[in-house]
Amino acid sequence: MPTFSCENYVQSGPATSPVRCKSLVIRNGSCFDECRGAESLRAYVQVSTLVPAQLPLGGSWSPDEILALNTLMEDCKGKYQICGPNAFNRYGFDEQVPTRVYAYNNRISGDRKIGSVALTLIEVGEGRLGDTEVVQTSEGAKAVYSSLARTLLDAVMIGRVSTLCASVRMDR
């Protein structure tokens, strides 16, 4: 486990102050500050690995949806499957292209934003994940989608919940 000292500042973003590194330890390719600011430094190192060496014309870059989701799930050591409106669109059940990525996973729940990518993460038990289809994107990343059968089941269940909610509102 190589250890080295650095006397420079690492900035993890505009909202945080620079983190002073005194002892930086590399374990399994990840950097950790032995003192304070470990989370900020870790976030900085991981985000810096996402950004390409050369920015595209216009000087603005953001990861694509799959890269953002894969990196997030890899970081928290979780599994995921893209579901809901994204899967409906993929299989041709809906022509509307969603502006968010909806994914079942076994680690995180809630809305997240990575660059310009908006994610809605739905935490489910390990046993609820499965029946998936792995798709390779044009950039070479692997995306895990709910299978056609699972997507149809989700569509039926979402329809039942929507119908139930509408009927409850009508009864009031």
pLDDT at 64 over 50: yes
Angle 101-102-103 from CA coordinates, rounded to 5°: 115
For 146, the token pair is 């709910």
pLDDT at residue 161, rounded to an integer: 61
pLDDT tens per residue across span 98-141 = 999 999 999 999 999 998 999 999 999 999 998 999 999 998 99
pLDDT at residue 162, rounded to an integer: 63
pLDDT at 71 over 90: yes
* pTM (predicted TM-score): 0.64
Averaged over 152-168, what is the pLDDT? 70
> Hey, which residues does 133 pair with through a beta bridge?
145
pLDDT tens per residue across span 25-60 = 444 444 444 444 444 444 444 455 556 677 778 777
How are beta strands 117-123 and 100-105 bridged, if at all? parallel
pLDDT at 72 over 60: yes
pLDDT at residue 41, rounded to an integer: 45
Query: Starting at the edge strand that comes first in sequence, how are the strands of the sheet with 110-114 ordered?
Result: 110-114, 117-123, 100-105, 80-82, 142-146, 132-136
